[in-house]
Structure 1
Amino acid sequence: MPWSTPFDDPILLPKGRRLLTLKDAASYIMKLPKDEHSVPEWQAAMEALILVAEKGGPTMFARIGVMRALNRGHVREFTEPGKKHHWGRRKLKRDQ
């Protein structure tokens, strides 16, 4: 699979740019500063890009690797801060 292979969905970057192909993602990673470039998440993204480009794997693997590296500092929140849970408020009549 050549480096010009496009991703299934383009990767949106914070400054409004988009990564459309494997080559775009590789050049973006190579332009990162040295300390950012050596972070394990970016190393894994580079390995995924190389495997997909040279061994012909699915482009989704490379996309996932780049997305994980881009979002490595983001903490996911599963509940909204002001939302209360519904369990524990009601009791059955037999338990009273």
Structure 2
Amino acid sequence: MSWQQFFRDPIELQDGRVLRSLRDAGEFVQTLPKATLDRPEWQAAVQALLLVVDHDGDTLPARIGIVRALNASNPTKRRTRRKAARRVIR
């Protein structure tokens, strides 16, 4: 197991903190309230994080999981491809 792996692109949180490694992400997840951790997007993020750590794999799946979970609670960050395409066409 290697919690020391670094993300290629660090994850910037809204409060100014930066998650640079798998260890940073794991410690951040541990500070979340239980109600937040019970959400499906956070369950998927934690599962991806643990799989990457257990198998010493690429950190990208863990990064994607955490970013998606962070953005799931922020409706301004979520846009469907259709909405994005419409804005380009008009």
Query: Max radius of gyration: which structure?
Result: 1
1:4: how far off?
1.1
Report the count of equivalent residues: 83
The offset of 1:84, in angstroms, is 7.3
* Structure 1 counterpart of 2:64: 64
Cα pair distance change 1:10/1:84, threshold 3 Å: closer
* SS of 1:65 mapped into structure 2: helix
Unpaired runs of 5+ residues, structure 1, are: 86-96
**Could you say which residue in structure 1 is the equivalent of 2:13?**
13
Shift of 1:57: 1.8
Structure 2 residues without counterparts, runs of 5 or longer: none
Q: Summarize deviations over 1:53-90 as a string: whole Å, max 9, x none.
A: 1112210010000000000132314144xx874xxxxx
Normalised by the size of structure 2, how large is the TM-score? 0.83
Percent of residue pairs identical: 45
Deviation at 1:26, TM superposition (A): 0.8
Q: Give the superposition deviation at 1:37.
A: 1.2
Kindly provide the CA deviation profile for residues 24-63 of structure 1, in whole angstroms up to 9, marking residues without a partner as x: 1011111001101111111110111111011122100100
The answer to which structure has the higher helix fraction is 2
1:1-96 counterparts in 2 under 5 A? Answer: 2-73=2-73, 74=75, 75-76=78-79, 77-78=83-84, 79-80=86-87, 85=90
> TM-score by structure 1 length?
0.78
Per the alignment, in what secondary structure is the counterpart of residue 11 of structure 1?
strand
Q: CA RMSD in A?
A: 1.6
- 3-state SS of the aligned residue for 1:49? helix
